Copies of this chain bind each other. A is one copy, B any other.
Amino acid sequence: MLQSKLFTKTLREAPKDEESVNAKLLTRGGYIYKNSAGVYSFLPLGWRVIKKIADIIREEMNAVGGEEIFMPALVEKKYWDATNRWNVPVGYEVFGKNEDETSFILGWSHEDLLTAMVTKFINSYKDLPFSAYQIQTKFRNEPRAKSGLLRGKEFMMKDLYSFHTDEADLNKYYERVAKAYHKIFKRCGLKSIYTLAAGGDFTTGNTHEFQVLSDVGEDTIYVCEKCGYAENNEISKLKDEGPCSRCRGKINAHKAIEVGNIFPLGTKYSKAVNLKFKDKNGEEKLVVMGSYGIGLGRVMGTIVEVYNDERGLIWPEQVAPFKVHLIELAGSSAKKIYEKLRKLGIEVLYDERDISAGAKFSDADLIGLPYRVVVSPKTGKKFELKKRSSKAIKLVSEAELIKLLKS
């Protein structure tokens, strides 16, 4: 894409009303725009990142047999009443103009609605197991909306729900999804720690979180140095530097960011809506369920918290809005190599603007694409190649450049 066509502009200064590194850098880079506290727009560069994260999630959810669906945000009172969640404080109520009573709460999770729907489709054990997921916008009345994309009033979430004949089948699938989650985060450049946690408004039993180590996280987790076992602070009986209850290894406390969570729901929701199936003997039994969430904006915000320096963003390649920032300096043209790279399917942001070299370089550092390629009168027929994550600058031929960028 031609950078002159991008309708956003980078900002020199961070917005004064943002505290978090992710919101400051993403706003300065023209990735996001804060419309209200906890409410953001994704601008062209930011939306490209979200779509890449969504594609990675979709691939891994399809690989575990998830069927993609799309549920509404307007969830009627009857669904919340059935599961006794109408009064959960995070719910936003919706009123039509001139209406005295609400009949909807904006979906902050979709166990209630989906469980009611699948009662129409499940009769026999032959209809199980299955799983369905969506990538859809959730709404939560969130007073602590100061962490940029890490905690919003409105945010895009992938929520997967699974349905089983028994606990054993759920547990098998739960492990499979846990592996898929680690894979998703790894592909996004994040190392996730599988952490035992409480159930919140979802279930009474224990659940699991996927935590990424970072100084800015809202959570404290206790992780064993030796076996990797981890618990979050809400439930942990482990102590900092104390011995691990499993292997007697040393426990370390860390502030961390939760990027995903998975819940073995058991029969909590199936009981509420009478979601039953007939087993092989014709006996009626309650369906056993799990649910599995990932916040897409939260993943994006976490990547920024982990990958940045004083000059700006440093995107991992798989989620970068473009792979290459192609910079043309005065007295040269990068048009030919731009067209060549594009034809090879390499995503290039081509800075052909009539501004100073310094301004182009600082924009490239701020925007943070993985590779910077400079074409200038000084480089002649060669290209100056620099990774955003390193300081080394190489002078390469066109053939070398193409070989490197194609790999």
Contacts and interface: CB of A to CB of B under 8 A. Distances in A.
Task: List 3 A-B pairs, minimum CB-CB distance, nearest first.
Answer: A96-B141, A7-B130, A42-B70
A116 B9 CA distance: 15
A50 B68 CA distance: 11
B41 A69 contact: yes
A129 B33 CA distance: 20
A93 interface: yes
Nearest to A70: B42
B94 A106 contact: yes
B97 A91 contact: yes
Interface stretch (A17-25, A73-81, A246-254): A73-81
Nearest to A140: B96
A33 to B, nearest CB: 5
Contacts of A121: 7-9
A47 interface: yes
A137 interface: yes
A329 to B, nearest CB: 20
A122 to B, nearest CB: 8
A44 interface: yes
A69 B94 contact: no
> How many copies of this chain does the complex contain?
2
Nearest to A130: B7
Interface of A: 5-9, 33, 35-36, 39-44, 47, 50, 65, 67-76, 79, 87, 89-99, 102-104, 106, 113, 117-118, 120-121, 127, 130, 132, 137, 139, 141, 153-154, 156, 163
Contacts of A156: 70
B117 A76 contact: no
B73 A47 contact: no
Given A6-B67, A73-B139, A99-B141, 7 more contacts: A9-B120, A36-B104, A44-B132, A47-B69, A70-B156, A74-B153, A94-B106
Nearest to A110: B41
A91 B97 CA distance: 7
Given A94-B93, A95-B93, A97-B89, A74 B44 contact: no
Contacts of A74: 35-36, 39, 139, 153-154
Nearest to A136: B137
7 contacts: A9-B121, A35-B72, A42-B71, A89-B97, A90-B97, A94-B94, A96-B141
A108 to B, nearest CB: 11
